[in-house]
Chain A
Amino acid sequence: MTTVMTRRADFPLLVRQPGLHYLDSAATAQKPAVVLDAEREFYETSYANPHRGAYALSARATECYHDARTGVARFFGLRDAACLIFTRGTTESLNLVATAWGMHNVRPGDEIVVTRLEHHANFVPWQQLALARGAAFRIVELTPDGRVDIDLLRHAVTPRTKVVAVAHVSNALGTITPLGEVAAIARSVGALVVVDGAQSAPHMAVDIEALDVDFYAFSGHKMGAPTGIGGLIGRREILEAMPPYQMGGDMIEVVGDERTSWNVLPHKFEAGTPNVGGAVALAAAVRYLTSIGMTEVRRHEQTLTAMAIERLGALPGVRLYGPDATRRSGVVSFTVDGIHAHDLATILDQEGVCVRAGHHCAQPLLRRLGVSATARASFFVYNDAADVDALVSGVRSAQTLFHGPRVVSPGTPARPATASR
């Protein structure tokens, strides 16, 4: 028997829907009450435009925003909090780097290296940058179990390589990339390492100083914060050398009729009124995760992932993608013979099981896997063994519906699919 602890009671939506088995946290996470409370508290007590008004309420809002940045920076082990830029999320963070850094540093004949694992958000901006700048665009292929092939990466990186963009954790397979090895290879030729941390920030301890990468992008909404807030962590000297990404209020120092000078970090990259409420809520989300402990979050998800891999893998006709549970995050991508992932997701939905079905915004990866779609179950702190039970049971129901009962459980008497529920 498993004894994994669940924190379901901390999440109002899951409390209100006791029959729901939410297994789509790789897409977005449900929100703990402490996050919703913190956001409401901020708007009810401290809300005004920060960095603007000469009155106490605006000063309080400014302080809340500043404290949120400090708190989120601490979560990532970042000592220099001004190197954390608040953005809308990972996609905006990666576009910021590809545009503000890339357009000024990548030249014709240079090389940009990505991997076959990448989400479109860490693939398309680099592909388009390469096209715009006349640079070569290289895709590092994977090992058979869906890990970045480090030997191939070593061969792909040359003295002309300007940037290596890589997912810390694959959203489609859950594969964890050994960033230390990637960084060492990139460092040997002076290339930058840009990390898509959307799937690692919520699920494992990330010590940014120890990772020794140049940029790390993440999304708050996958960590229990609202949508529309996330961040980009960058090296100070690189951020300071970069031109701004967007122009407007807050990011300027002096605006002359013909020239403008830029504000200091982080404000140079935060044009316009910032998402203060989102930042405050994100700070509450990382406090919540810290109260559990990221080591415990990882252990909990690893337990459920191993359980799901073992039980789904035991079903005839189920194919699993990706490495073993020790080398992946809480993501289980699979297909069922004879049942398309969308049909599977519809059938699972009828039993309250929410999974993603499709290409997971990773078409280059799925093309290489030779499938047009997979079903993906992904875990977070609120999931427990009952969710795995419901998933496995739902897959069996789908097999019964599509293939009849004999395929699923040989030796048991034929019966209508409804009788198994």
Chain B
Amino acid sequence: MSDLRELYQSVILDHNRAPRNYGPLADATGHAEGRNPLCGDEVTVWVRMEGERVADVHFVGTGCAISKASASLMTTAVKGKTAAEVTTLADQFRAVVTGQVPAPPPSDGAMGRLAALSGVSRFPIRVKCATLAWHALHAAIAGAPDAGVPDARVSP
């Protein structure tokens, strides 16, 4: 049960129940869909870029608590960052949820807040739930409307 408590900690359940920045973004400069046909999870991410920076980001999705909370946390973490900073953050996030690096403390800025999802590292088949929105965000910033299927090797 302790691994589950770690996975479904209160921050995750809170973002699942009350996702932040939820809904389409009217003045978006780009959007993209991410989906996993194996489990049916879908997420759409809208971004409004001002120059190199993410001025605003929203999402809509159907899926598990992990995918929804991850998308919600992501939207709170990337606002104001440059596209390059978002890529760096995405790489760090992926390293944490796959267990390649230890989770930073919660006080450690944007990555510290995202580390609420570090419990995913004990559940390898759930990694793609946590990374789905990040793939969509990357595609939205890059201007590709379809983020396709990230890491869809394992059906949960």
Chain A interfacial positions (CB closer than 8 Å to B): 338-343, 345-347, 350, 357-359, 363, 366, 372-373, 397, 401-402, 417-418, 421
Contact = CB atoms under 8 A, between A and B. Distances in A.
A5 to B, nearest CB: 32
Contact of B64 (A342, A417, A418, A421): A342
Contact of B4 (A347, A372, A373): A347
A359 B156 CA distance: 11
Contacts of B39: 342, 357-359, 373
For chain B, which range describes its interface: under 10, 10 to 19, 20 to 34, or 35 or more residues?
Answer: 20 to 34
B38 interface: yes
Interface string B35-55: 000111110000000000000
Interface in B6-44: 7-8, 13, 17, 38-42
B156 A357 contact: yes
A154 to B, nearest CB: 33
A350 B40 contact: no
Given A339-B65, A402-B13, 20 more contacts: A340-B65, A342-B41, A342-B126, A342-B129, A342-B156, A343-B64, A343-B65, A346-B156, A357-B156, A358-B38, A358-B40, A358-B155, A366-B40, A373-B39, A401-B5, A401-B8, A402-B8, A417-B1, A418-B1, A418-B2
Interface in B44-81: 62-66
B123 to A, nearest CB: 6
Given A358-B38, A359-B40, A372-B62, A346 B126 contact: yes
Nearest to B129: A342
Given A343-B8, A402-B8, A417-B1, A373 B40 contact: yes
Q: Shortest 6 CB-CB distances between A and B: which pairs?
A: A342-B64, A340-B64, A418-B1, A372-B40, A358-B39, A359-B40
Contacts of A357: 39, 156
B154 to A, nearest CB: 12
Contacts of B38: 358
Chain A: interface secondary structure? helix
A259 B4 CA distance: 64
Contacts of A343: 8, 64-66
B91 interface: no
Contacts of A366: 40
B7 to A, nearest CB: 7
Q: Which of B3, B65, B123 has the largest number of chain A CB atoms within 10 A?
A: B65
B90 to A, nearest CB: 22
Nearest to B125: A346
A342 B1 contact: no
Contacts of B2: 418
Contact of B63 (A340, A363, A401): A340
A350 B4 CA distance: 8
Nearest to B1: A418
Nearest to B66: A343
B75 to A, nearest CB: 19
B3 A350 contact: yes
Given A340-B64, A357-B39, A372-B40, A345 B156 contact: yes
Contacts of B40: 358-359, 363, 366, 372-373
B91 to A, nearest CB: 25
25 contacts: A340-B63, A340-B65, A341-B64, A342-B39, A342-B41, A342-B63, A342-B66, A342-B129, A343-B66, A346-B123, A346-B126, A357-B39, A358-B39, A358-B156, A363-B40, A366-B40, A372-B40, A373-B39, A373-B40, A397-B1, A401-B5, A402-B8, A402-B65, A417-B1, A418-B1
Interface string B117-150: 0000001001001000000000000000000000
Interface string B95-131: 0000000000000000000000000000100100100
Contacts of B156: 342, 345-346, 357-358
A401 B17 CA distance: 13
Nearest to B2: A418
